[in-house]
């Protein structure tokens, strides 16, 4: 479906539930990819996932409140630090920093969630960036040659990360410590599962961006710990059907998630409809996707031009249904309380934006603006946005003299 893959998708790696024609499906009565994340949380029985922030806030409900898995934010910021950087860019250094911070607090991190294209940033990860993130997740640094699992006979790690000197035989079998010493060059193993949510995969409307699925990479650093999710809710505007897929080569994960799919069953009628839709690749590739991309691009162009006319900075890379808008200059003070007041002012004027704090953005004043609508509604919405900001700007200017 317009996303080149380096190798075939094998049915045995798809979660089996219901439909068996193209993908074996895990379907549900809640948004499909969110439920898959929730079920994966149950399957891993772990303590925490890393997730770049800002991120789509509903993930917290499904992963933490339902699955009892903590989310450790990898905070991104708007500052551009060099010619090769962009606002809110995810880097391996930021991943390392967040992981070390979690480890220092005794939090056991076992996974990384990536949303590609990203929500709310609209960012698209390049193949090189994806490879870097996956290599970080697998990372296993070389240590001193040896026989045991940490690279040296008779050496093991205690719970605090210090080395435990053990009897060469009994130590491996029973973990009997002799004395502690700080770790030096033994392997640093992350071995994180990576959940890649590609729910906006077919909604990249800017041709110059070039989208690549994680499944299109020639070689995955750790196939057994790389899992991809997709659903029809965004790309086909069919959120009401609650149809989603999970692709994993890890049989244990597939079995565990399949056992939970019983609670999120898909009706036979919906299975049939989805099979008929996804079979018609000519219509999808030659009619639907080009028209959908053209409409998204036109709406995005209109809203972008309006924002530029207002002098409002924004982040958008030609994917998804939203623009990440910088309204910090309209806050009298850089606080989340002022952000909420501005959001309330929009709401009072019948404009519904999403405020940054709901996405765990660490900088007050960022808002998500959804542009995937008809032109006459966008025109009315932007008129209301202009009216609110002109009034709010006046308040902000008058505030110091009060």
Same domain, 35 and 114: yes
52 and 67 in a common domain: yes
Residue 132 domain flag: yes
Cα angle 220, 222, 225; round to 5: 120
Domain shared by 225 and 105, yes or no:
yes
pLDDT of residue 61: 83
37 in any annotated domain? yes
pLDDT given at position 19: 32
Verify that 67 and 47 share a domain, yes or no.
yes
For residues 356, 95, 72 and 253, what is the CA-based torsion angle, rounded to 10 degrees?
Answer: 120
Helices within 29-168 (DSSP H only): 32-44, 58-60, 92-104, 127-138
For residues 102 and 147, membership in a common domain is answered with no
Asked if 208 and 92 sit in the same domain, the reply is yes
Q: Is the residue at 28 inside a domain? A: yes
- Calpha distance 300→148 (Å, rounded): 56
Into how many domains does the chain fold?
3
Nearest to 330 by CA among 262, 388, 284, 274: 388
Residue 2 in any domain: the answer is no
Strand order in the sheet with 193-197: 26-27, 243-248, 226-231, 193-197, 109-115, 48-53, 70-75
| Pair 345, 397 in one domain | yes
CA separation for the pair 59, 359 (Å, rounded) = 10
Q: Are residues 76 and 207 in the same domain?
A: yes
Cβ atoms of 295 and 12 within 8 Å: the answer is: no
Asked if residue 153 belongs to a domain, the reply is: yes
* Same domain, yes or no: 153 and 105: no
Residues 202, 83: one domain? yes
388 is a domain residue: yes
Q: Taking each helix axis as running N to C, give the angle between helix 375-398 and helix 336-348, from 0 to 180 degrees, rounded to the nearest 10.
A: 130
- At 308, which CATH number? 3.90.1150.10
Q: What is the pLDDT along the chain (402 residues), one digit of tens a residue?
A: 444 454 556 555 655 333 323 333 344 434 545 555 555 555 455 589 999 999 999 898 888 877 788 999 999 999 987 777 899 999 999 999 999 999 999 999 999 999 999 999 999 999 999 999 999 999 865 443 433 433 343 333 333 333 333 333 323 332 333 333 344 444 456 899 999 999 999 999 998 998 999 999 989 999 999 999 999 999 999 988 888 888 999 998 888 888 877 777 788 888 899 999 999 999 999 999 999 999 999 999 999 999 999 999 999 889 999 999 999 999 999 999 999 999 999 999 999 999 999 999 999 999 999 999 999 999 999 999 999 999 844 444 444 444
What residues make up the domain containing 26? 11-139+190-267
Are residues 44 and 104 both part of a single domain?
yes
Closest CA to 300 of 78, 122, 87, 80: 122
pTM above 0.85, yes or no: no
CA–CA separation, 118 and 201 (whole Å): 10
pLDDT value, residue 30:
44
Query: How far is Cα 294 from Cα 317, in angstroms, rounded to an integer?
Result: 15
Name residues whose C-beta falls within 8 Å of residue 254's C-beta, 6 or more positions apart in sequence: 13, 14, 15, 16, 246, 248
């Amino acid at each position: 479906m317009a996303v080149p893959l380096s190798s075939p998708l094998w049915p045995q790696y798809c979660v089996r539930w219901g439909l068996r024609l193209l993908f074996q499906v895990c379907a549900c009565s809640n948004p499909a990819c969110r439920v898959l994340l929730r079920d994966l949380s149950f399957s891993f029985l772990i303590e925490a996932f890393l997730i770049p922030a800002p991120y789509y806030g509903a993930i917290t409900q499904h992963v933490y409140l339902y699955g009892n898995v903590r989310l450790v934010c990898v905070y991104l910021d708007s500052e551009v630090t060099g010619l090769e950087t962009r606002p809110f860019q995810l880097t391996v250094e930021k991943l390392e920093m967040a992981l070390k911070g979690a480890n220092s607090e005794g939090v056991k991190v076992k996974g990384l969630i990536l949303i590609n294209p990203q929500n709310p940033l609209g960012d698209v990860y390049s193949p090189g960036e994806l490879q870097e993130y996956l290599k970080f997740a697998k990372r296993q640094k070389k240590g001193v040659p040896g026989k045991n699992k940490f690279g040296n006979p008779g050496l093991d790690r205690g719970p605090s990360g210090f080395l435990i000197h053990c009897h060469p035989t009994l130590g491996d079998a029973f973990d009997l410590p002799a004395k502690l010493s700080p770790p030096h060059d033994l392997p640093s193993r992350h071995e994180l599962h990576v959940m890649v949510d590609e729910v906006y995969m077919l909604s990249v409307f800017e041709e110059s961006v070039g989208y690549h699925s994680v499944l299109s990479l020639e070689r995955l650093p750790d196939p057994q710990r790389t899992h991809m999710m997709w659903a029809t809710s965004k790309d086909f505007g069919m959120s009401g059907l609650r149809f989603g897929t999970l692709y994993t080569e890890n049989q244990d994960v597939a079995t565990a998630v399949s056992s939970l799919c019983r609670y999120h069953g898909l009706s036979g009628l919906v299975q049939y409809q989805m099979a008929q839709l996804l079979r018609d690749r000519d219509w999808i590739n030659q009619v639907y996707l080009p028209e959908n991309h053209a409409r998204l691009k036109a709406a995005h162009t209109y809203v972008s031009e309006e924002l530029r006319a207002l002098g409002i900075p924004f982040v958008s890379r030609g994917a998804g249904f939203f623009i990440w808008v910088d309204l910090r200059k309209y806050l009298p003070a850089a606080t989340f309380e002022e952000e909420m007041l501005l959001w309330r002012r929009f709401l009072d004027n019948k404009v519904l934006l999403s405020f940054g704090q709901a996405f765990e953005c660490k900088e007050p004043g960022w808002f998500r603006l959804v542009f995937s609508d008809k032109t006459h509604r966008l025109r009315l919405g932007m008129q209301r946005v202009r009216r609110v900001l002109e009034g709010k700007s006046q308040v902000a200017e008058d505030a110091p003299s009060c």
